Amino acid sequence: MESTNPNTPLQTWTRGYFANRTQLDECFGFEGEVKEHWKRLLHNIEQLDLQELKSRQQELLKLLKENGVTYNVYGDTDGLNRPWLLDTMPLLIPAAEWRITERGMKQRAYVLNKVLEDLYGERKLLKERIIPPELIYAHSGFLRPCDKIKLPGANQLILYAADLSRGPDGKVWVLKDRTQAPSGMGYALENRSALNRVVPELFRNHQTTKLGGFFNNMMQAFLDIAPQGKEQPRIVLLTPGPRNETYFEHAFLASYMGFTLAQGEDLVVRNGFVWIKTVEGLEKVDIILRRVDDNYCDPLELREDSHLGIPGLLEAIRKGNVSIANPLGSSILENTGLMAFMHNVFKYFLNEDPVFKMVATWWCGQPKEMGFVIDNIDKLVIKKIDRTTGSGTVIGSQLSKQQKDDLIRRMKAQPYLYVGQEEVGFSTSPVFTKGKLEPRYTVLRTFLVAAKGGYDIMPGGLTRCSPEKGSFLVSNQDGGIAKDTWVETSVKSNTPSLLHHSDLKRKAVLPSRAAENLFWVGRYAQRVVRTSRFIRIVLRNLGQSGSASNGQESEAQNALLHTITHITGTYPGFLEEDEAATVEDRLNDIHKLICDQNQHGSIVFTVNNLLKAMYAVRDRWSIDNWRIIDDMEDTKRKLAVLEPQGIRHVFTFLDQLNGSLLSFLEMNRQSMYRGEGWLMYRIGQLIEEISLELTQYRALLTFQYEEHIEFQILEALLVSNQNLSNYRSVYRTYFDIAPAIDLLFLNKQNPISILSQLEQLLKFVEQLPQKEKGAHDSEISNIVFECYSLVRLINVEALMAVDKELEFRLELDRVCEVLSSKISLLSVKLTAWYFSHSTYQYQGTKDNFKLEV
Amino acid sequence: MRYKIKHVTEYTYQDPVSLCHNRVCLTPLNLPQHTCISSQIKIQPPPDDLTYRKDFFGNTVLFFSSYTDHDHLEIVSESEVNLEGRPNADHALDSPVLWKEMQQRLASQDDELFEIIQYTLPSTYIPYSEEIKKFSEDCFAEDATLWSACHALMQKIYKNIEFKPGFTTINTPVEFVVKAKKGVCQDFAHLMISCLRNMGLAARYVSGYIETLPPPGKEKLVGSDASHAWVSVYFPSIGWVEFDPTNNLLPTYNHITVAFGRDYHDVAPIKGIVFSSGKQNLTVKVDVTRLD
């Protein structure tokens, strides 16, 4: 009926959709008719006109980008933080079909759990030849040190994900299992909330099951594996760090679930327990949710070159003092060769056939199967049994004769490493792109979590579609499009999607590494604001005088340029005498100091460091802050590609950058939780402010110049510190150095005077957590107190005294120097005391460990 | 024959170590006619945490950790072993099994061999390699018995590879050892295991000690013995049979077995992680004394 009227929006959008169609489509039948369970959704979409739909699609991507939803791509520095693409069209699954999916996935999870338990336990599957022993022993995921380790509770496989697709026969197939640290559930949740926010009209008249309940079940699953049934366990999420492809999700889940986000270096094994290093000392960890591959988790017993793990972890697990999900060694289930034997395994444990078919798989470790794979290589996909060794998947028909021969030779040499698989059929589903719908291959990742007596499934999942029409590549690494996944339900679901953390009433902790990053966010943010403001003033100055004085540099300009070198630390820089330098040369140099990201101390360089520190603690920023961070990243990119000729535009970009930064700082001032994190961040800011100010004052105010030069210098300084109007309102005189020093150092009404800032710093350092009663704590506040009293007792007259011969204010120079060195000592002490990094190495580096007989 | 073994490992650290975790595999095994009468591992400074376990392969391993600053660590393992011979070796000599038959039985996944099969597969230090295969091929005559093939291979390695300390490290690949024709005992052992596995046979790594005799007329020096490594090959219905390619002999009364594994990686005498960035210095002294 819908297909008869050529004027409906749907008709326009689906023009060309059905050309050359051979695959099944999730939404449309072969005649182009809309399947029953999609009618309501398409009706809702038709209510929005094309322009509206397009702009909603834009809005959706913008929202996800601002929320910081990204997927990192390895080996691609610019690809770090690739934006997440989400389609406005969800994937719909009718209730009846979902019931089958649910049954099939729960059955599969049950069986895989049994397999895992057996392989690290009795190994009856091998003894009784249900699975060929070679297939297990040759797989890199069979970790012998993990033998006989069991998690408390009924299940070994805690989290499980599987990719499903619909074959040409209309049946659902299992493509692969993800069993060690399955990713995607956080993205699924984020997809739902973004779609709900941006296109609420779509949801009209739909009953879609909510996802929140799944995360509550997940929390319960963790509580069930707590060591010795501990009631309020501390749970950490172990991430490989900000460079990992799904780091967004690690940070997202950690803050959503109330877990502490930790990297290997944040954790340490002592007295047989795992501890997290916090600014207050060590806190015991009970459960680790890991996103680190199992081989990398303990350099003592597993891969010794890993720096992502925790030395001694396996022993702590064996002692039953910490539980890890999924257990180490569970990647053995990701063995593609297992697919060939799963049918028998289902029979063995359940005496049932699997609900879902699996991709037909032939393991080459058996001579007959090997023969079959070689004979049919043109029709098959050849894979290695594990993901870690060499290149993965090869499509037989796409190989040249030479490549085929090579492959067969390698297979014959080590047959047990290979499988042949049937090429998988996919169904398509409509993706909204360039103003119309296009059919794209579609894969659904489903998620399960262990529960009492079985498994719970997330009602929905992560749907991913191929990035291009006709392409079979459906993975995040290759760039793909995600869809929200709707499971229709007849009952009105009332589970609030909010988590109740009643079980996790533990005090939040600040890991030392997070503290350090917050400290540096404070420092770098202030450094960018201060240096860019100062450089901007000098640049303007230079521009004006460039035309006025025929390129001759004035003494004032010289002093200002020197100061730039001092505050950016880019020695020798402008300190090198260069009589011949033209204004053009100076502009080029300054351009470098702003835009060159390889120049240590340049603005873009510092912004990069700032962003890095921000990403490393991304679980601590609000969504609003993410929007600002995203803007900063954009501005930074523009600055980094700005040509020297375009330096005029630098003002706009620097203004944008500072605008973003000031909003960021203001947002934190208003809403950041006043805990230890805030202390670290504020102390970082103050240390940076004070030390940059001292550097400026020392560079600009110690030399005695003629009055009109001093006038110019003071004006520039006061403008850059935004103290000019303060100065005028207080002193109302001509610029003079004595009142300026009073304002800059001593005036308590001036919030950025050295004295005011030291006063604040003193307040903050006194609130620092007391790790142990000891000298270190008072050492830190003593340093600040010494600075404070030194400034408090300053005698402006004495400071102003000029050595006639040198034309130099010796006392001012001395005071600045003493203060500067005390402030940098403070930074060093904080680092040593609160952020201490432990580096570890192998005992007796293997190279000098020789056995000699 | 009764032996007393004293194995002293001493680390000194340039910067103090605040924390260390170690895994020690220095306790001799109990085997038929090879009895570990006593074994004791003493550690200085005394560790804060200490646990004995059996590993996947049945070896005894000791885990220990220290949480107190130290700039020096001494691990002294003292044990007494009573050695009456190696029963499997005598049977193997008369075994009529052809190496081809053994290869066949392993390839067809014979029930008896379901655990043994893992010793035919590559492992950390034992790669699959065409070169290694070529090196050893002439030892595997079509109709050779398993025993004579192993014996020929042992001799070939002994003749071709020069024993030269200091030339290789534990990370030197066996392919390089074949090319350079130099190495120490674990290179000899790894090479022989590699050859056997590349021919589809089951071979494992043995870590232990050997009694060495001083040159005629000289006193034996204290601490002059060393850890040793050799090879064990699986013979059907007999079991594991040992070969020492470094010395071109069949271990009987002079080889004391500490541990079995797929290669060095599974049975390294001491593995440890120390929290310190400074340099470390290591000395190892081993004494094997015959008591009767």
Q: Is there a contact between A851 and B18 if contact means CB atoms under 8 Å apart?
A: no
Q: Is there a contact between A134 and B53 if contact means CB atoms under 8 Å apart?
A: no
How many angstroms away from the CA of A299 is the closest CA of chain B?
Answer: 8
How many angstroms away from the CA of A272 is the closest CA of chain B?
Answer: 7
pLDDT of A391 higher than 80:
no
Residues in chain B, how many?
292
Residues A827-835 have a mean pLDDT of 90
Q: Is there a contact between A840 and B246 if contact means CB atoms under 8 Å apart?
A: no
pLDDT of A734 higher than 90:
no
pLDDT of B141 higher than 90:
yes
A550 band by pLDDT with thresholds 50, 70 and 90: very low
Residue of B nearest to A365 (CA): B107
Q: Are A367 and A336 in contact (CB under 8 A)?
A: no
Give me the pLDDT at residue B90, please: 86
Q: Are A429 and A23 in contact (CB under 8 A)?
A: no
ipTM summary value = 0.95
What's the first-to-final CA gap in chain A, in angstroms? Answer: 87
How many angstroms away from the CA of A846 is the closest CA of chain B?
Answer: 6
Give me the pLDDT at residue A60, please: 93
Q: CA A180 to CA A116: how far, in whole Å?
A: 11
Q: Are B29 and B47 in contact (CB under 8 A)?
A: no
Nearest to A336 by CA among A183, A464, A101, A178: A178
Nearest to B173 by CA among B126, B230, B121, B229: B126
How many angstroms away from the CA of B117 is the closest CA of chain A?
Answer: 6
Query: Do the domains B2-83+268-290 and B87-262 sit in the same CATH topology, yes or no?
Result: no
What is the residue whose two structure tokens read 């010793």? B119
How many angstroms away from the CA of A350 is the closest CA of chain B?
Answer: 24
Assess B51–A contact: CB distance below 8 Å, yes or no.
yes
Give me the pLDDT at residue A476, please: 56
Residue of B nearest to A305 (CA): B273
Q: Is residue A14 part of a domain?
A: no
Residues A1-28 have a mean pLDDT of 77
Q: CA A93 to CA A86: how far, in whole Å?
A: 18
> Among B5, B19, B21, B164, which would you mutate to test the A interface (most chain A Cβ atoms within 10 Å of its Cβ)?
B21
Assess A229–B contact: CB distance below 8 Å, yes or no.
no
List all residues of chain B from 95 to 154 with a beta carbon under 8 Å from chain A.
107, 109, 111, 114-115, 117-118, 121-122, 128, 130
Report pLDDT digits (tens) over A84-108: 889 999 999 999 999 999 999 999 9
pLDDT of B149 higher than 50:
yes
C-alpha distances in angstroms, B52 versus B35, B61, B266?
19, 6, 16
Q: CA A347 to CA A349: how far, in whole Å?
A: 6
Residues A319-331 have a mean pLDDT of 97
Segment among A65-69, A785-789, B60-64 with least mean pLDDT: A65-69
Give me the pLDDT at residue A493, please: 59
**Statement to judge: residues A620 and A721 lie in one domain:** no
Q: Is residue A448 part of a domain?
A: yes
Q: CA A54 to CA A61: how far, in whole Å?
A: 11
Report pLDDT digits (tens) over A191-226: 999 999 999 999 988 888 999 999 999 999 999 999
Q: Is residue A341 part of a domain?
A: no
Residue of A nearest to B163 (CA): A853
The H or E element spanning position A338 is none
List all residues of chain B from 72 to 101 with a beta carbon under 8 Å from chain A.
none
Q: Which residues from chain B sit within 8 angstroms of residue A416, using beta carbons?
A: 121
How many angstroms away from the CA of B206 is the closest CA of chain A?
Answer: 13
Q: CA B135 to CA B224: how far, in whole Å?
A: 33
Give me the pLDDT at residue B206, please: 98
Q: For the domain that residue A377 is a member of, what is the CATH number?
A: 3.30.1490.270
Assess B23–A contact: CB distance below 8 Å, yes or no.
yes
Give me the pLDDT at residue A485, please: 97
**Statement to judge: residues A498 and A581 lie in one domain:** no
How many angstroms away from the CA of B164 is the closest CA of chain A?
Answer: 9
**Statement to judge: residues A590 and A735 lie in one domain:** no
Give me the pLDDT at residue A782, please: 93
A190 band by pLDDT with thresholds 50, 70 and 90: very high
Name residues whose C-beta falls within 8 Å of residue A147's C-beta, 6 or more positions apart in sequence.
A120, B56
Q: What are phi and psi of A563, to 5 degrees?
A: -60, -40
**Statement to judge: residues A661 and A525 lie in one domain:** yes
Assess B194–A contact: CB distance below 8 Å, yes or no.
no
Give me the pLDDT at residue A637, please: 92
Assess A414–B contact: CB distance below 8 Å, yes or no.
yes
Q: Is there a contact between B170 and A134 if contact means CB atoms under 8 Å apart?
A: no
The rounded Cα A462 to chain-centroid distance in angstroms is 19
A827 band by pLDDT with thresholds 50, 70 and 90: very high
Report pLDDT digits (tens) over A653-668: 999 999 999 999 999 9
Residue of B nearest to A146 (CA): B56
**Statement to judge: residues A681 and A668 lie in one domain:** no
Nearest to A160 by CA among A174, A146, A141, A142: A174
Q: CA B250 to CA B270: how far, in whole Å?
A: 26
pLDDT of A428 higher than 80:
yes
Residues B233-261 have a mean pLDDT of 95
Q: Is there a contact between A844 and B272 if contact means CB atoms under 8 Å apart?
A: yes
pLDDT of A552 higher than 70:
no
Report pLDDT digits (tens) over A519-541: 999 999 999 999 999 999 999 88
Write the CATH number of the domain with boundaries B87-262.
Answer: 3.10.620.30
How many angstroms away from the CA of B160 is the closest CA of chain A?
Answer: 17
Q: Is there a contact between A270 and B115 if contact means CB atoms under 8 Å apart?
A: no
Q: Is there a contact between B20 and A843 if contact means CB atoms under 8 Å apart?
A: yes
pLDDT of B278 higher than 90:
no
Residue of A nearest to B127 (CA): A414
How many angstroms away from the CA of B282 is the closest CA of chain A?
Answer: 6
Give me the pLDDT at residue A132, please: 96
Assess A119–B contact: CB distance below 8 Å, yes or no.
no
**Statement to judge: residues A559 and A649 lie in one domain:** yes
CATH class of B2-83+268-290: mainly beta
**Statement to judge: residues A227 and A368 lie in one domain:** no
Nearest to A221 by CA among A123, A325, A110, A369: A325
Q: Which residues from chain B sit within 8 angstroms of residue A132, using beta carbons?
A: 109
Q: Are A166 and A428 in contact (CB under 8 A)?
A: no
pLDDT of A771 higher than 70:
no
Q: CA B31 to CA B231: how far, in whole Å?
A: 16
**Statement to judge: residues A206 and A307 lie in one domain:** yes
Q: Which residues from chain A sit within 8 angstroms of residue B23, using beta carbons?
A: 300-301
Q: Which residues from chain A sit within 8 angstroms of residue B185, using beta carbons?
A: 851-853
Report pLDDT digits (tens) over B210-226: 988 888 888 777 766 77
Give CA angle at A844 (A842, A849), nearest 5°: 125
Assess B52–A contact: CB distance below 8 Å, yes or no.
no
| Alpha-carbon dihedral B30, B33, B38, B44, rounded to 10 degrees | -60
Give me the pLDDT at residue A49, please: 82
B156 band by pLDDT with thresholds 50, 70 and 90: very high
Task: Name the residue among A144, A268, A853 with its Cβ closest to that of B210.
Answer: A853
Give me the pLDDT at residue A833, please: 86
How many angstroms away from the CA of B82 is the closest CA of chain A?
Answer: 22
A795 band by pLDDT with thresholds 50, 70 and 90: very high
Q: Give me the residue spans of the domains in chain B.
A: 2-83+268-290, 87-262
Mean pLDDT of chain B: 93
Give me the pLDDT at residue A32, please: 87
Q: Where do the DSSP E strands lie in A770-847? A: 840-842
Give me the pLDDT at residue A169, please: 87
The pTM of this model reads 0.90
Report pLDDT digits (tens) over A358-377: 889 999 999 999 999 999 99
Give me the pLDDT at residue A849, please: 42
Report pLDDT digits (tens) over A575-590: 987 778 888 888 999 9
Q: Is there a contact between A133 and B65 if contact means CB atoms under 8 Å apart?
A: no
**Statement to judge: residues A821 and A784 lie in one domain:** yes
Give me the pLDDT at residue A724, please: 84
How many angstroms away from the CA of B133 is the closest CA of chain A?
Answer: 11
Q: Which residues from chain B sit within 8 angstroms of residue A852, using beta carbons?
A: 165, 184-185, 226
Give me the pLDDT at residue A224, please: 95
Q: Is there a contact between B272 and A842 if contact means CB atoms under 8 Å apart?
A: yes
The total number of structural domains in chain A stands at 4
Q: Which residues from chain A sit within 8 angstroms of residue B210, using beta carbons?
A: 853
The rounded Cα A384 to chain-centroid distance in angstroms is 30
**Statement to judge: residues A324 and A399 lie in one domain:** no
Residues A443-453 have a mean pLDDT of 95
**Statement to judge: residues A136 and A228 lie in one domain:** yes
Give me the pLDDT at residue A471, please: 63
pLDDT of A852 higher than 60:
no
pLDDT of A515 higher than 90:
yes
> Among A386, A847, A851, which would you mutate to test the B interface (most chain B Cβ atoms within 10 Å of its Cβ)?
A851
Residue of B nearest to A140 (CA): B123
Give me the pLDDT at residue A495, please: 57
Residue of A nearest to B122 (CA): A138
Q: Range of A798's domain? A: 674-835
Q: CA A315 to CA A297: how far, in whole Å?
A: 12
Q: CA A314 to CA A659: how far, in whole Å?
A: 49
Q: Are B142 and B190 in contact (CB under 8 A)?
A: no
In the sheet where B20-24 sits, what is the strand order?
Answer: A840-842, B270-275, B20-24, B60-66, B49-54
Give me the pLDDT at residue A580, please: 80
A725 band by pLDDT with thresholds 50, 70 and 90: confident
Assess B213–A contact: CB distance below 8 Å, yes or no.
no
Report the share of chain A in percent with pLDDT over 70. 91
Q: Are A287 and A237 in contact (CB under 8 A)?
A: no
Report pLDDT digits (tens) over A756-770: 999 999 999 999 987
Higher confidence at residue A176 or residue A71? A176
Q: Are A165 and A173 in contact (CB under 8 A)?
A: yes
Give me the pLDDT at residue A273, please: 97
pLDDT of A36 higher than 70:
yes
Report pLDDT digits (tens) over A125-170: 999 999 999 999 999 999 999 999 999 999 999 999 999 999 888 9
Q: Is there a contact between B130 and A414 if contact means CB atoms under 8 Å apart?
A: no
Q: CA B31 to CA A603: how far, in whole Å?
A: 69
Give me the pLDDT at residue A440, please: 92
A498 band by pLDDT with thresholds 50, 70 and 90: very low
How many angstroms away from the CA of B42 is the closest CA of chain A?
Answer: 18
Assess A271–B contact: CB distance below 8 Å, yes or no.
yes
Q: CA A123 to CA A144: how far, in whole Å?
A: 12
Hey, what amino acid is at A320?
G
Residues A307-314 have a mean pLDDT of 96
What is the residue whose two structure tokens read 């050849």? A382
Assess B221–A contact: CB distance below 8 Å, yes or no.
no
**Statement to judge: residues A430 and A414 lie in one domain:** no
Give me the pLDDT at residue A851, please: 44
Residue of B nearest to A842 (CA): B273
Give me the pLDDT at residue A554, please: 81
Residue of A nearest to B21 (CA): A312
Mean pLDDT of chain A: 89
